[in-house]
Structure formats: structure tokens, C-alpha cells
């Protein structure tokens, strides 16, 4: 079953679990170098805007399990639709957009806490799934009622916005999730506009 997953999604899942294993051995070293530290921190480096998305909380295996389960469930469909190269680019753009958003939020909140996790990239995948397959039914184990993908993702976005604004569920980078979705929207709109522009016939004078 795992071999049926397209190659990029499979590689991302394996890479994230492999790095999580390294974190269990040398967590502080990896977190110090590759987690996303606030911009004012002496530990901040520009590469962390991407590398943070391949780290997870070493004290909670559920963090990496849930994120990689999401890539397993939805990433393969988007990879088949986009193609491997565009899918990987999309994943990294969403992770970067989530990182930039989180960097801005931690700056405004004067936070000194680092951020880790692939959730921003995963939320970008969810956005793409709802965009291209809006009527696809999604069923959750704890809520076994089939719901349209567009509704589930819209509800997720509303919940993340509410949680971020109200400060509930501390310890979760809610605005990073929204930033990943924003990056996904901008990426898709850009690709669509580029496709329309390149396919439009030239004007005659």
C-alpha cells in the first residue's frame, strides 16, 4: 500500500520520519540549527524558513504521525494531479509561506519560541485538494459523516483563524497553517494566470 504512494509524497514521509529519528538522538542540536526561531533571536538563520518544516516536536510522536498521515491521505492525489516536480515546488512554497507568516507573527507577539512541523505545507495540500476536488467526500474517524472537501477545508481555516485570534490552543502555530493555505492560493492563482496568458491568441493590429 505504501509503495502505491507517488514518489515525492513517499520520499517526504520517509524523510520526515528519518529526521524525527535523528531528533530523538540529537534533538537540541537539530532544533538549534534548523527550527524556525524568531527573527530577533541569535539562533535565527534564513534557511530555517524551509528546514523547520522537516522537524517535529521530539516530545510528541503524534505531531509527526498526524502530519505525515495527512500527506499520505491527500498528498498523493495532488502529486498525481500536479506532477512530481510541480507538487514538490508547491509543497516547498506552502512551507515557505507558512514560515514567513509565522516569523511575522512571532515578531509582532515578541515571542522567543521556535516553530517546527510540516503543518503549513500540509494545509497547503488541503487547500489544493479542496480547490481541485471540492465535492470529494472526506470522512473523519471521530466524526464519521461524509463531508465535501471544500466545506472541511473552509471549516479548518475558520477554526485556525478563530484559534489564532483568540489565543486558544496555545503551542500550535495557527497562523502558520493559514500562511500555508495563503501560499497555496497564490501559487495556484499564479499558475492559472500564467496558463491563460500563454494560451491566449495574440492580438492583431
123-142 pLDDT, tens digit each: 999 999 999 999 988 876 65
Between 184 and 139, the more confident residue is: 184
Comparing 52-61, 115-124, 144-153, the range with the smallest average pLDDT is 144-153
pLDDT, position 168? 66
94-118 pLDDT, tens digit each: 999 999 999 999 988 888 899 999 9
**Contact criterion met (CB below 8 Å) for 106 and 183:** no
* DSSP conformation letters of 96-113: HHHHHHHHHHHHHTT---
The Cα–Cα gap between 55 and 21 comes to: 10
**Contact criterion met (CB below 8 Å) for 130 and 154:** yes
Q: Where are the domains of the chain?
A: 2-199
The Cα–Cα gap between 164 and 27 comes to: 27
Q: Write down the CATH number for the domain with range 2-199.
A: 1.20.1540.10
Maximum CA pair distance of the chain?
68
Residue 42: pLDDT band by 50, 70, 90 thresholds? very high
pLDDT, position 201? 57
**What residues does 147 pair with on adjacent strands?**
138
Burial degree of 133 (CB within 10 A; 0-12, 13-18, 19+):
middle
Between 140 and 158, the more confident residue is: 158
Residue 205: pLDDT band by 50, 70, 90 thresholds? very low
Residue 115 is classified by DSSP as: B
The Cα–Cα gap between 79 and 86 comes to: 8
The Cα–Cα gap between 70 and 91 comes to: 13
For residue 22, the number of C-alpha atoms closer than 13 Å in the C-beta half-sphere is 12
- List the grid coordinates of 43: 539562533
**What residues does 31 pair with on adjacent strands?**
none
Which residues lie below 8 Å from residue 59, measured CB to CB, with a gap of 6+? none
The Cα–Cα gap between 63 and 175 comes to: 17
Percent share of the chain, pLDDT over 70? 89
Comparing 62-71, 135-144, 178-187, the range with the smallest average pLDDT is 135-144
20-35 pLDDT, tens digit each: 999 999 868 899 999 9
Average pLDDT of span 149-175: 79
Amino acid at each position: 500500500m505504501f509503495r502505491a504512494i507517488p514518489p515525492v509524497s513517499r520520499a517526504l514521509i520517509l524523510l520526515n520520519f528519518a529526521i524525527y529519528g535523528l531528533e530523538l538522538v540529537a534533538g537540541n542540536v537539530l532544533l538549534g540549527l534548523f527550527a524556525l526561531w524568531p527573527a530577533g533571536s541569535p539562533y535565527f538563520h534564513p534557511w530555517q524558513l524551509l528546514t523547520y518544516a522537516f522537524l517535529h516536536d521530539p516530545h510528541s510522536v503524534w505531531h509527526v504521525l498526524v502530519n505525515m498521515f495527512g500527506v499520505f491521505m491527500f498528498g498523493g492525489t495532488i502529486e498525481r494531479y500536479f506532477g512530481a516536480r510541480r507538487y514538490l515546488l508547491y509543497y516547498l512554497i506552502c512551507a515557505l509561506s507558512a514560515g514567513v507568516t509565522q516569523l511575522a507573527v512571532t515578531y509582532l507577539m515578541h515571542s522567543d519560541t521556535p516553530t517546527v512541523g510540516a503543518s503549513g505545507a500540509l494545509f497547503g495540500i488541503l487547500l489544493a485538494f479542496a480547490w481541485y476536488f471540492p465535492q470529494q467526500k472526506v470522512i473523519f474517524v471521530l466524526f464519521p459523516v461524509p463531508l465535501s472537501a471544500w466545506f472541511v477545508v473552509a471549516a479548518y481555516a475558520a477554526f485556525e483563524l478563530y484559534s489564532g485570534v483568540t489565543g486558544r490552543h496555545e503551542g500550535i502555530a495557527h497562523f502558520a497553517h493559514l500562511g500555508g493555505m495563503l501560499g497555496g492560493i497564490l501559487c495556484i492563482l499564479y499558475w492559472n494566470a500564467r496558463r491563460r496568458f500563454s494560451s491566449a491568441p495574440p492580438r492583431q493590429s
